Amino acid sequence: MNVQQGTIDALYEIIGECFKYNRWLDRFVSVMGVQFAMNKTSGLIHQNIAHYFPKVSDTIGEKCLENYNITVKYASTPEGKENYLDPKDMFEQLESKIIDFQNMLIKVVNIAQDNKDIQVYADLLDVIKDFNKIVGQVILLNDKAKAYPNMMSFDHDIDSFWIL
């Protein structure tokens, strides 16, 4: 086998997290659009962030596992029933969770490097580089949400600070 078992296990775990995050974000944008009437914002987050997670899962699976003739295994996803106090609370949680995911990615990269799976390490660096754009966008969204007194104005103006 060309990839160490510890690296494979870490890759399975991050792939599972991708689907958990997609499920969480689908619920997130549903609440944002329906309960808080922020349809423009929820649409952008749905298309550009929620849909990112299944894509990155496929990228990791194809480049880091299937490329070495290792099948992908998928974890179960939890129910999506979260509720939120208000949109500002949502943006704080979004930033926290996205940074948590970034840290999980970094952990997997470190595992690949420690296991001397440099071929996997190299492909994961590309994943992190791409994901950093999402982190930057989410930090900006949370900062803007804190500055806006009215979230309907935030939703109206989102195109002016959407960078993805």
Domain boundaries, the chain: 5-75+85-157
Measured CA distances, 64 to 22, 58, 89 (Å) = 20, 10, 36
pLDDT at 1: 74
Kindly write down the DSSP assignment for every residue of 82-123, as one continuous string: ---S-HHHHHHHHHHHHHHHHHHHHHHHHHHHHTT-HHHHHH
The reply to whether CATH 3.40.50.620 applies to domain 5-75+85-157 is: no
pTM: 0.95
What is the mean pLDDT, run by run of 10 residues, along the chain of 164 residues? Answer: 95 98 97 98 98 98 97 92 95 98 98 98 97 98 96 97 96
Q: Is the dihedral of CA 99, 36, 141, 158 positive or negative?
A: positive
- Give dist(CA 78, CA 62) in Å, integer: 24
